[in-house]
Structure 1
């Protein structure tokens, strides 16, 4: 029965257009921690292509957990401990301060930064980083990761990347689709693949070196693997019917797939070295959207075997199947946090599709979004943020929400729609 095929795998999105993403904070924590990020001093002659301190400040603000002091409100611009007067910064209301300096010698840059607790007048951390003019944004993200972890206890994920799918309408029946790669803040977008046919379901390998995705370039769905360093791509075994929803095993040796080569959509696992295909599910219902558990021992997947789409887990050594979701008539596209405790998913409520999270220890389900057509959740590698696609008016945007629902932001494109996000692992 094809009743649920659109929920499965062939979810065709509306007309899209390529654009760089921007970040708009829509909701943060009630009492964000006040932090001052002072412009880094520069001892060179030629102007730098990036403002490292601005990258850091923007990252911390984008997390929704910090209030960043405007530069025009700063009384001074210290770059080292000797020029830092804690009393002035206490008066300004900041709890923490990031200072830094950039120097150049023989064509190489040295970026030094320090984080201080203003109230305690103590240095929390400091480091020197070798850099060049082309990777200063990456240095800024690295510093943001360090500061974020020092102040929250959670590893920062600003240095990670995202992929997403765009398309542009060239004529009433002609489109151009692109698989895009960008920094986690939407900067530095580049095209990984361009096609006249749809591209779907991008998935990262756990080492961040490869992508798997579905392309219709041959006129029918097929799974491809793309090597990011070289641009090399290879077509995975292609079968009649559906070939889709690839998901990498934690060790990178296997791909979970959805195939309908035997007449019904089922979950399979492909050994990439031996090219051995193993069928995992055997049911008359539709099984789709596989995703690996962090330990590689189980797959979670969506199935309508109980009458409505719900999320199940199959323990691979024994093939025992356990139903995970019971609240509501529709739960799909499940993704686990790296600790295996929380399950992010698309949950239908009052006729609309929202992003929800379920605590697998307690069974509690929390609705995180209020928009009406949310899909494709993907979780930051530190487990703090869920990125997803949604509708804003008549166009699609990427939005994000923290696991506790306290922080929300959007990543709209400047002139079009984006879909199918996937967040990279730690690099």
Structure 2
């Protein structure tokens, strides 16, 4: 069957592979936590002194970041404290805060902002960490995300992902856009606009490039774009359809779905376009590849058993084994950075819902009760998943904890949003 460039229905089918996106206007994200997580750390983030100097609500951004992670609960914090203050521990213990952060914003003579903060352990009455950043005013939001990352790492022992980026595709009328935004959905910038569809964006491991499928030459071709310079190059423009790029963990190769030989099969290609090699030899449609974090295996979707299911095989090629068995329709695999969990989308009574699987045991859990989930991608620390869905009659990006208990819509007004992909820790 042919891989079609456009589908009439909202749901991207396995055979179409073309969830198309849209957004007439991007709106400010509003955090809306749904569900109750387990034990969350109570943390007080005091409004930063002279916060208005930054034109960004630094403390509010930090609070929202921490809450969205599902690991923290905000404690009301009256203003008046800053990084050089001496907290009255009894007062903050009475507020039942385990941790406390405060800071300040100062405009320097050269126009930059000096943003400082300090984090304290309220229980022990000790300082945990303090930092200062001198940033351009346009980078105040990024500075707030970095502070949230520092707090997250100090209190959990794991790296935060608030200063990372996401990419996704939108559509406004006949106009398609490849968008890069902060991990909270804010700070969106258009990396590419086109009157033809753009689909399947994928971050390079170094965070500098995005691979994607473009139809600007009136057929599906895979291109790579440098996000900083905007420079683009064609990676795959073979006979037939070129689709579904996925980077190897070392960034030296990409897996592709090509129909150059008739059916849609998986191929490997070097990042410079050389060394094309076919991986699968089936009569089925094999697509939606993704690498295991250690690069040893490739997970992919195939209808070789009659309906779309997730399979895996050695990255060098070889025999494939089936991974999903529950249900007749399972697509869009994504593997967690530690290689232990797979997120995917299953069809249940006509509804498409997000699931996670423990790869060691094969046990699956449905973590969404929506009807139109698609395109899951893990945060680089493996603690959150971003995916596309519908909420309140609008198409949105959603983040969720792996247990599904803390969900946060990243709202886009009057928009369709599709195929989110979460960038790596590296942010050039």
Instruction: Establish whether TM, by shorter chain, passes 0.5.
Output: yes
Residue number in structure 2 paired with 1:99: 102
Whole-Å Cα distance in 1 between the matches of residues 184 and 354 of structure 2?
21
The answer on 1:56 being equivalent to 2:62 is yes
Distance 1:384 1:121 in 2: 29
Tell me how far 1:78 sits from its aligned partner: 1.7
Residue in 1 aligned with 2:48? 40
**SS at 1:130 equivalent:** strand
* Contact 1:27-1:409 at 8 Å conserved across structures: no
Contact 1:9-1:289 at 8 Å conserved across structures: no
SS in 1 for 2:138: coil
Q: What's the CA shift string for 1:6-38, capped at 9, x where partnerless? A: 314433447653423513222242553221111
Separation (CA, whole Å) in 1 of partners of 2:252 and 2:358:
29
The equivalent residue for 2:140 is 136
Out of 86, 97, 103, the residue aligned to residue 89 of structure 2 is 86
Q: Distance in 1 between matches of 2:49 and 2:2?
A: 62
Q: Aligned pair in 2 of structure 1 residues 38, 392: CA closer, same or farther (>3 Å)?
A: closer
2:183 is matched with 184
Q: What runs of 5+ residues in structure 2 fail to find an aligned partner?
A: 5-11
Q: How many residues align?
A: 417
Does the 8 Å CA contact 1:18/1:178 hold for their aligned counterparts?
Answer: no
String of CA shifts for 1:290-346, please: whole Å, max 9, x gaps.
111111222110001111211111103452322211122111111101111101101
> 2: distance between equivalents of 1:276 and 1:230?
26
Contact 1:28/1:65 (8 A) holds in 2: no
Asked if 1:25 corresponds to 2:28, the answer is no
Q: Distance in 2 between matches of 1:8 and 1:341?
A: 28
Structure 2 CA distance for aligned equivalents of residues 103 and 245 of structure 1: 47
Q: Which deviates more from structure 2 when the two are superposed, residues 231-240 or residues 50-59?
A: 50-59
SS of 2:425 mapped into structure 1: coil
Change (3 A) 1:380 1:68: same
Aligned-residue offset at 1:235: 1.4
How far 1:42 sits from its partner (Å)?
4.0
The answer for the alignment partner of 1:160 in structure 2 is 164
| TM-score scaled by length of structure 2 | 0.92
SS in 1 for 2:311: strand
Structure 1 CA distance, aligned partners of 2:337 and 2:21?
31
Answer yes or no: is the 8 Å Cα contact 1:246–1:255 preserved in 2.
yes
State the superposition RMSD in angstroms. 2.2
Distance 1:274 1:223 in 2: 10
Deviation at 1:123, TM superposition (A): 1.6
Give the structure 2 partner of residue 172 of structure 1.
none
Gaps of 5+ in 1: 170-174
* Mapped partners of 1:422, 1:362: distance in 2: 26
